[in-house]
C-alpha cells in the first residue's frame, strides 16, 4: 500500500520545528534497522513461549474490499502449509484520518485486484462494480453465521458470488451456511473492528502475526518468510504460497513509442525505494519516461496519523530489505527542503538532469541521513546529481514550479490515483493502457510493457 510517512506535528503545509524533525528522524532510523527488527521478533517469540500461546495468525476481512477477496483465497493454503492457528475477523472500513480518500480506495481496490489477481494465481473479476447494499448485507450476514473452521472457504465462496453480483449464488450460500441476524452481524463486526484497533491497525485484508502487520497478497511473502524462519513450514522444500513478483524488463525492447508516466513525491518512503528501479526499467525496456512529481500529502493539507506513518515506514523497511537496499538513513525533508528541491527541478530537467536531482534528494533523505535543511546538505544533493551549486543557489526558492506540480496532482486524480508513487502507461497513440498506485505495482507495468511489445511483434 503506497503512501507517505506523516507525523502529527505542526500544521499541514507548514514546516515542523527542527527539534521535532530531528527526533522523528532519529526514532525512525532506529526503528527500521535490521538488528532492531530481529530483536523485536526475538522478544515476541520469547513472550509467546512464556505465555504458552500457539503460533497464531489473525486475519481481518473486509467484505467490500477487493484486496480482501484476494487475501481470503490464501487462508486455506496458509493453514495447510504452515503449522499455525488462523483466526479470522470481520471488519469494516476503518474510521478517521488513516483513509483520507475512502471512496477512491474502494474503487481502486476493485480495479487493482482485477489486474493483479491472475499474476498471483488468484481470482477477481475485471471491472467489478461496487456491491449493491442488499448483496453486501447478505454477504456479511453469511460470514457472521459460519463456524470459525469454515470461514476461509466461506469467505472465498461469498466473494466469488458477491463480486460478479450473482444474487442466486448468494442466496444458495445463505441456505448452505445460514444467515445471521443483523444484531449478531453487527456484534461480530464490532468485535473485529475493536480487535484490529487494539492490535494497532485500521485496514482490511490485513494479516497480523506477533506484533507485525502484513497487507494482503502483496505482503504475504513477508509473512511466509517469517513463518518459515520460525520453522513452521510443513514442507522442508519451503515452497511459498504467494511469492513476490520481480521487476523484469524482459527481452523485448521499445524505441520510445510507449510512455511511462511516473508520479513521485520527495517525502514518500515508498517513492524512495522504487525511484531508481523505475528509471532502470524505462532505460532497459526503451519506453519513454515522463516524471511528474507531486507535493507530499501533508504539505497539501492531508493530515494522516502517526499510527499509519509508523506502519508505512516499517513496511517500507521490509520492502527495501527484500530488494537488497541499504535503506533507512532517514532525515525528514518535510517543508522547505522539499520546496527547495522542487524549485530546482525545472532547471535541472532543462539540463537533462531532472531525474538525477530527484533521485539524489531521495537518496540523501532516506538512505544517507542528509539534513537537506542545511545549505551543505542541499549542496551535496545538487552536486551528486551532476549539477552546479553556484548556479543552483541563485535560483533556489523560486515558486515557478508550483503550478506544474498542481497540474500533476490533478492529472493523477483524473486517472483514479491519489497517493504516491503512481504510474500510468500510455500506448503509441497516447491512450491510457494501465494506471495504478504503488511501488509494489512496477512489476505489473514491466509485464504490461512486454505484453504490448509482444502484440506489436506478432
Label residues 299-312 b or e (16+ Cβ within 10 Å = b).
beebebeebbbbbb
Evaluate whether residue 135 is within a structural domain: yes
Both 264 and 220 in one domain: the answer is no
Same domain? For 72 and 111 the reply is yes
List the CATH number of the domain containing 438. Answer: 3.40.30.10
Are residues 176 and 273 located together in one domain of the fold? no
**Residues 381-416: pLDDT tens digits?**
999 999 999 999 999 999 999 999 999 999 999 999
Other Cβ atoms within 10 Å of 349 Cβ, number: 15
Statement to judge: residues 205 and 341 lie in one domain: no
Residue 4 lies in a domain: no
- 200 lies in some domain: yes
Residues 66 and 205 in one domain: yes
Radius of gyration of the chain (CA): 23
The answer on 144 and 88 residing in a single domain is yes
The DSSP symbol for 100 reads: S
Q: Which of 229, 248, 267 is the last residue in one of the domains?
A: 229
Domain count, the chain: 2
Same domain? 71 vs 156: yes
Residues 353 and 395 in one domain: yes
Looking at residue 168, what is its pLDDT? 97
Position 303 in a domain? no
Residue 197 shares a structural domain with residue 285: no
Which residues, given as ranges, of the chain have pLDDT below 70? Answer: 1-17, 19, 21-22, 301-304, 458
Q: How far apart are CA 382 and CA 446, in angstroms?
A: 30
Between the alpha carbon of residue 302 and those of residues 4, 13, 18, the distances in Å are: 11, 9, 21
C-beta of residue 434 within 8 angstroms of C-beta of residue 422: no
pLDDT of the residue at 456 = 82
Q: What is the pLDDT of residue 333?
A: 94
Looking at the fold, whether 353 and 423 belong to one and the same domain comes out as yes
Domain ranges, residue 79: 51-229
pLDDT digits (tens, 9 = 90+) for 353-381: 999 999 999 999 999 999 999 999 999 99
Same domain, yes or no: 214 and 268 = no
Asked if residue 159 and residue 276 are part of one domain, the reply reads no
Amino acid at each position: 500500500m503506497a503512501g507517505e510517512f506523516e507525523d502529527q506535528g505542526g500544521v499541514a503545509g507548514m514546516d515542523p520545528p527542527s527539534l521535532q524533525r530531528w527526533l522523528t528522524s532519529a526514532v525512525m532510523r532506529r526503528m527500521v534497522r535490521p538488528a532492531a527488527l530481529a530483536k523485536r521478533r526475538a522478544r515476541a517469540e520469547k513472550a509467546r513461549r512464556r505465555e504458552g500461546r500457539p503460533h497464531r495468525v489473525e486475519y481481518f476481512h473486509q467484505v467490500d474490499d477487493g484486496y480482501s477477496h484476494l487475501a481470503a483465497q490464501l487462508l486455506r493454503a496458509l493453514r495447510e502449509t504452515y503449522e499455525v492457528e488462523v483466526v479470522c475477523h470481520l471488519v469494516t472500513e476503518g474510521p478517521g484520518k488513516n483513509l483520507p480518500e475512502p471512496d477512491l480506495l474502494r474503487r481502486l481496490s476493485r480495479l487493482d485486484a482485477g489486474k493483479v489477481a491472475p499474476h498471483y494465481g488468484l481470482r477477481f473479476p475485471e471491472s467489478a462494480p461496487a456491491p449493491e447494499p442488499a448483496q453486501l448485507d447478505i454477504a456479511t450476514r453469511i460470514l457472521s453465521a459460519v463456524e470459525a473452521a469454515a470461514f476461509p472457504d466461506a469467505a472465498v465462496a461469498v466473494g466469488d458470488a458477491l463480486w460478479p453480483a450473482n444474487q442466486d449464488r448468494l442466496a444458495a450460500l445463505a441456505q448452505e451456511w445460514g444467515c445471521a441476524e443483523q444484531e449478531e452481524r453487527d456484534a461480530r463486526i464490532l468485535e473485529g473492528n475493536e480487535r484490529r484497533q487494539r492490535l494497532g491497525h485500521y485496514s482490511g485484508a490485513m494479516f497480523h502475526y506477533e506484533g507485525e502487520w502484513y497487507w494482503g497478497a502483496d505482503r504475504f511473502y513477508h509473512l511466509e518468510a517469517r513463518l518459515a524462519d520460525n520453522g513452521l513450514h510443513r514442507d522442508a522444500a519451503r515452497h511459498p504460497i504467494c511469492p513476490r513478483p520481480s521487476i523484469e524488463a524482459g527481452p523485448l525492447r521499445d524505441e520510445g513509442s510507449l510512455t511511462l508516466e511516473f508520479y513521485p513525491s520527495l517525502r514518500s518512503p515508498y517513492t524512495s525505494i522504487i525511484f531508481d528501479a523505475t528509471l532502470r526499467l524505462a532505460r532497459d525496456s526503451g519506453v519513454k519516461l515522463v516524471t511528474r512529481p507531486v507535493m507530499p500529502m501533508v504539505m497539501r493539507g492531508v493530515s494522516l496519523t502517526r499510527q499509519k506513518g509508523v506502519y508505512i515506514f516499517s513496511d517500507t523497511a521490509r520492502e527495501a530489505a527484500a530488494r537488497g537496499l541499504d535503506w533507512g538513513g532517514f532525515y525528514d525533508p518535510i517543508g522547505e527542503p522539499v520546496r527547495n528541491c522542487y524549485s530546482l527541478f525545472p532547471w535541472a530537467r532543462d539540463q537533462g538532469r531532472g531525474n538525477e536531482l530527484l533521485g539524489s534528494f531521495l537518496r540523501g533523505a532516506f538512505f544517507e541521513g542528509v539534513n537537506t535543511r542545511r545549505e551543505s546538505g542541499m549542496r551535496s544533493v545538487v552536486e551528486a546529481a551532476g549539477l552546479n551549486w553556484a548556479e543552483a543557489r541563485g535560483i533556489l526558492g523560486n515558486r515557478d514550479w508550483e503550478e506544474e506540480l498542481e497540474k500533476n496532482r490533478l492529472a493523477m486524480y483524473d486517472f483514479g490515483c491519489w497517493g504516491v508513487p503512481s504510474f500510468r502507461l500510455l500506448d503509441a497513440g497516447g491512450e491510457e493502457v494501465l494506471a495504478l498506485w504503488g511501488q509494489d505495482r512496477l512489476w505489473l507495468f514491466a509485464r504490461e510493457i512486454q505484453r504490448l511489445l509482444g502484440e506489436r511483434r506478432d
